[in-house]
Amino acid sequence: MRLKYLMGQIILLSVLFSLLDCKKENQLPTCKITYPNNGDIFKLGDTIDIMVDAFDPDGLVDKVKFYIDDTCVFRDIIFPYLYRWITKEETFGEYNIKVTAKYHSDDSQTDECSITILGNAIVVTNNADSITLTSAISGGKIINDGGSQIIQKGVCWSRLNHNPTLANNHTYNGSGSSSFISAITGLLPNYKYYVRAYATNSLGTFYGNEISFTTLKTVPTVVTGALDELSSYAVLINVNIVSNGGVTITSSGVCYSTSPNPTTDDNISWAREGTGFFRCVIRSLLPNTKYYFRTYATNAMGTTYGSEISHTNTSNSTNETGILTDSRDGQTYITVKIGNQWWMAENLNIGTIIESNQEQTNNQVIEKYCYESFCKIFGGLYQWDEMMSYVTMTGSKGICPDGWHIPSDDEWKILEMELGMPQSQVDNLFERGTDQGKQLKVSGASGFEGLIYADFFPIYYNSNSYFWTSTQDTISEDIAFRRALYDQNPYVGRLFGYKTIGLSVRCVKDSINK
């Protein structure tokens, strides 16, 4: 009985061990592309590391095969499973990546993904055509969109730099891969411009070859501005040279005549070279005479004119006037007869300009200072010795034109008494007379037209005008007599002045006074 029981227990344990030792159920292997992800986008030339996670719980991985568009490109048997795909020899477009893992158990698993390779857009720049003074036509042709839609295209240009970009001037000619034509505008005449077509896709902006062209040349563009009357004999006209036409301007200014449409064959007041705004002074105009004025500018292509304006300078004087031409430099001056004296009615303006911190010297060259650089308005300013040509004789010719001389203190007294100054005051110093200063100033009854600095430079308080005489002081050789016209009152000043200061000069004619 006991033996049968033991045998039963042995049989039962054998069954249990058999059940425990039975073969486990087979588990399937795995295969997964971990990089790249489905839908990823790359640039042509990128290196794409295709990475695979392959595993068999019941055994070993035999090999992993890598396919690009169904073509096996690599086999890997060692973990980590990786294929380094260099795309520089590929073309744009969508690619299918497939991997297959083969296991010792003869099982296999596959995984797939799709990626897109894009590239640079390729664009060619059209040569420039229809070139004008300020514009040209170019454009471009899209050779390849790089596998991505062109979202913007056009041309960019620069006058200063090669290889222009969108940071420079550019056009926008829409989207898409069709050829395009671009109008390049807002250019300057006779300048070289650099141009490149461009095309933008999802990867960025790409540029075509650079071309260049030069805009055409033309005559300048000049504008006639406002006119201001400076005196009965002078006007100031504003000039604006808008463009030099692409060629250096050789002369510009104002031409004028007593007939309409004056040209440079008539009278001209030359101002300067170059472009921009400036003011041009025209002197020696006859009073109560209608003049016509036009601005002009000349370059190698020709001369162009601004609009015409006309003006008549008015005079409150009934005294006889004339014109003096200085044979030394061709400058002209209005003259006026006051009593029996003929006076220059404009300040003398002969000589070479020097800086105000320099001394005028006895060097056989007439030297002058210019108040605020307006020699054409105020004439030159001269030290006494320079004005007298380094002689001390009263009434000397000095730097005056032939037939004229530097007025003496006594000749100024004759002028003042002719205008009504009492004999009892003419020998006084400082302010004298009644309204003789008013008569001698601009718009005065004498026609002398003495300019007052304050009329042009109001920031200078009491900017009076001063004129030398040829009479020096009898006590000090360093001092000479001068005359003053005042900004603030109607008198004439009879003063002393150190010979080293620069003053204006009016000449008086010889034949009447000597």
The rounded Cα 125 to chain-centroid distance in angstroms is 29
Q: What is the pLDDT of residue 260?
A: 96
pLDDT (average), residues 407-421: 97
Range 83-113 burial, b when 16+ CB lie within 10 A, else e: bebebeebebeebebbbbbbbeeebbbebeb
Strands (E), 265-390: 267-270, 276-282, 290-299, 302-312, 321-325, 332-338, 341-344, 352-353, 367-368
What is d(CA 253, CA 229) in angstroms, rounded to the nearest whole number?
17
The answer to whether 174 touches 153, Cβ cutoff 8 Å, is: yes
User: Are 197 and 170 within 8 A, CB to CB?
Assistant: no
Q: Determine the pLDDT at residue 459.
A: 47
What is the distance between the alpha carbons of residues 76 and 79, in angstroms, rounded to a whole number? 8
Tell me which H or E stretch contains 48: strand 47-55
Residue 373's pLDDT is: 60
Question: pLDDT tens digit string along 464-485?
Answer: 899 999 999 999 999 999 999 9
The model's pLDDT over 42-78, given as tens digits with 9 standing for 90+, comes to 998 899 999 999 988 777 888 999 999 999 999 998 8
As a whole-number percent, the residues of the chain with pLDDT over 70 amount to: 91
Distant-in-sequence, close-in-space partners of 21: CB < 8 Å, separation ≥ 6? none
219 pLDDT more than 60: yes
User: Contact at 8 Å (CB) between 424 and 439?
Assistant: no
Give the per-residue pLDDT at 217: 85
- pLDDT for position 456: 58
The reported pLDDT for the residue numbered 62 is 87
Q: 376: part of which helix (H) or strand (E)?
A: helix 375-378
Q: Given this chain, do its domains 30-118 and 221-312 carry the same CATH topology?
A: yes
pLDDT at 104: 78
Instruction: Give the model's pLDDT for residue 243.
Output: 87
CB atoms within 10 A of CB 58: 14
Question: Would you kindly state where each structural domain of the chain is located, as residue ranges?
Answer: 30-118, 122-214, 221-312, 321-513
Q: pLDDT grade, residue 455 (50/70/90)?
A: low
Q: Identify which of 432, 414, 430 has the alpha carbon closest to the alpha carbon of residue 343.
A: 414
Average pLDDT rounded to a whole number, residues 307-332: 94
Stretch 348-357: mean pLDDT? 93
CATH (residue range 221-312): 2.60.40.10
Tell me the percentage of the chain whose pLDDT exceeds 90.
71
The per-residue pLDDT for range 119-167, each reduced to its tens digit, is 889 999 999 999 998 999 999 999 999 888 999 999 999 999 999 999 9
Q: Which two tokens stand for residue 46?
A: 């990128």
pLDDT band of residue 380 (cuts 50, 70, 90) is very high
pTM, entire model: 0.62
CATH 2.60.40.10 given to domain 122-214: yes
By three-state DSSP, how is residue 265 classified?
Answer: coil
Average pLDDT over every residue of 379-398: 96
Per-residue model confidence as pLDDT tens digits over 104-113: 777 788 999 9
pLDDT band at 13 (very low <50, low <70, confident <90, very high): very low
8 A C-beta contact, residue 189 and residue 135: no
Domain spanning 30-118: CATH 2.60.40.10? yes
State the pLDDT at residue 22. 46
DSSP state of 382: B
* Rounded mean pLDDT, 226-247: 91
CA proximity to 333, closest of 142, 42, 325, 341: 325
Cβ contact 433:492 at 8 Å? yes
Answer yes or no: is pLDDT of 513 > 80.
Answer: no
Q: What is the pLDDT of residue 457?
A: 53
Q: Please compute the mean of the pLDDT values over residues 393-414 and round it to a whole number.
A: 97
E-state strands within 7-46: 30-35, 41-43
**Does residue 11 surpass a pLDDT of 70?**
no
Residue 14: its pLDDT value, please? 52
Q: Is there a contact between 182 and 173 (Cβ–Cβ < 8 Å)?
A: yes
Q: 313 with 284: CB under 8 angstroms?
A: no
